[in-house]
Structure 1
Amino acid sequence: MAIRQVNASVQNDGNYSMLDCRDTDFGGPLMRIETFRASHPAGGFGVNAAGGTVENICGADHLSPDSGRTFRHLFSVAADDDAPVCTLEFREVWQPDGSWEVRTRDVDASSDTFGYVLVSSVTPTDAGTYRLRYEIRRPTTGAVERRVIPSPLPVPVFESTGLADIGVSLADLGEVVGESGAAFEGTAGLGSSDADIDELTRDMAELLASQEYSRWQQNVVQYLRFGDFRDKAVHPGVNLTGPNPRLTSELMTVRSYRSSMIQLGRVFDVDMTPKRNKLLDATAPIEVDSKPGVYAIFLSAYLANIDAYKLSLDKVHSDYSGVPLALMAGSRMENGIEPRVSADNANRALAELAFAFYIGETGQASIRTFGLR
């Protein structure tokens, strides 16, 4: 698909707050991501180009004590000239030690799993690996209303649907689904075997490929396709600072929802997993949409050690101004300042998890050859 950017807006610190893309050559739906760091103040750049507000998108996380490390996103789709409709809601939180928790909620009113949330957590271990915990939760309250959720949001998702805010405690999100494959726990890292990763994720991948979950699965695959770097995001240069904001804008191709994509692809998208890095041996490789753009920049930054990409990822995730997010907050990339809380460990965790999930044994020889961690 020849996906191209057709609209965009940015936050106080110059990171994207919204991106609209459409396949302008072959035709296809408008795909929209709305994304805010939850520490962003209301008004001004807290309103994206579509009219979505940081208060409605971030809900209970807005201006909370940990909001500088918390991101909330909405993914919406529109056919032809129809108004965009939300299909997925996300919450991503990282910790200085490299831990992540990502919540992905099905908000498609036509889906059998409306209101279900996949909670994925990643925690570093002393052994240099990562402890993974994935679980699917479903709402247990009887007050949930299955409603079409428009973009931009007129009110927060929880107000229009009766669902709990996606930022509440895990128990308040609902109960873990009582089906085989609805939860797993294990470890992954640069040295994980393909068989170990396959065994760890197999049951959940099979459950999400079943008929009951089919609409949610299709929406996540579309989201991952949107996130593959077929387009180059064209940054308008707004709210960047330092001696060379024009060059900075050229490096700002990454948006803050990459963590969810890396963690989702292994269980939701069969094309990203069964033939990992074996496309050269396939008889029809282009039939497999492996979506390398979802994770490639993390591998380039932390395994190939490309500093410019490290700076780009740092700009997206690190907390430079606390709460509230300052206007033109700056970054290492722009003006050489140090963050209040660095996301280096969190970004490295995504790189190593992406390697374990999508590269695996075929790339381990390269790690040994070049001495990479």
Structure 2
Amino acid sequence: MSSAPLKGIKVLEFTHAVMGPCAGLMLADMGADVVHIEPPHGDSTRRLKGFGTGYFWFYNRNKRSLAVNLKTEEGIQLIYDLVKEYDVVVENFGPGTMDRLGLGYEKLKTFNKRLIYCSLKGFLSGPYEKRHAMDEVVQMMGGLAYMTGREGDPLRAGTSVIDITGGMFGYIGILQALYEREKTGEGGFVKSALFETCAFLMGQHMAYSSQIDYQIPPMPSRVSAWSIYKVFDTKDNDKAFIGIISEKHWERLCDVFGWEDWAADERLATNNQRIDERDWFLPELDARVKQFTKAEIIERCDKGHIPFAPISRPEDLFEDEQLNRGNSLMEVGMGDKKSAKLPKFPLEYKGTRVEKRLDPPKIGEHTSEVLKELNISDETIAKMVSEGIIKIE
């Protein structure tokens, strides 16, 4: 990015998994110097398997690693010394963990009144605030799983959407605090949480519920406001989505697929009329669309400027034309594993996109570098390594 807007901002990141690292990633991608604090044996996220396999490698680019034992007085003292020189602390550990370590906001602000401290938790202040929570927990209790699954079958969304969005709100809160600090000279405490994030995403459905006298159906059971807004089977045993949300779309659909009879059918002249005719219209539409391959459907819908989508899998995105030709992917190293093209920060700023400065770090890869910035000597660093206080890669 030609103008890294957060260049010069220094961040200490005490995070793991997704929510905290996501907030740190956004800061790092926008130019901040983010130091990921991890124990000498490494962030446990590095070792996750299954769906957690990609967490560390996606959310920790453009960061440095400081490996320090926070169970030692010397390790805690190093953090106190660093806090004096840093602008932001981000943490997403369990309720009370940072306070027990002596690294809570009330303690750290005594070293630096300009410090902005972002705490990412399961819940904001209230009866639940001491509970532990995870993305899937709050998707269930916040209504998202109910709205995503079929009737009687709640289903979590297909990515860590609440972790990611909660991290985004944390990032927004940090930016607000940085802006206010420019006026007041003082930092402050920022808190974002999973449950309230999920409730915010449910806000449109809550507003809907307040205006009706029946129970909101989950999304797969909803009656769409649009007469054509669904996934279709194709001739080559694949699938494609088509959405018709204006009468112009309907006219162009009939034109590119050669359905002159429907273009002239008065029963189908408007969206609401087509909804009234769904009992016969949709089965016939399914049959007509199935006469075309997925490629033919995409070609015709694209030609007619009609909303459409292939049904893609994550691995399909590696070769997506828009992502590749639009400069939306970057090659990221994954330690001893093969590298991969992964999504950039989804924002254009002054006509440019963020670029990779650092691959996700090895454990303690930058420990010596960070400590030397505090003018700690090589001899002292070597002594701390021998005593197990820090690790250097």
Q: TM-score, normalised by structure 2?
A: 0.23
Q: Which has the higher Rg, Structure 1 or Structure 2?
A: 2
Between structures 1 and 2, the one with greater helix share = 2
TM-score (norm 1): 0.24
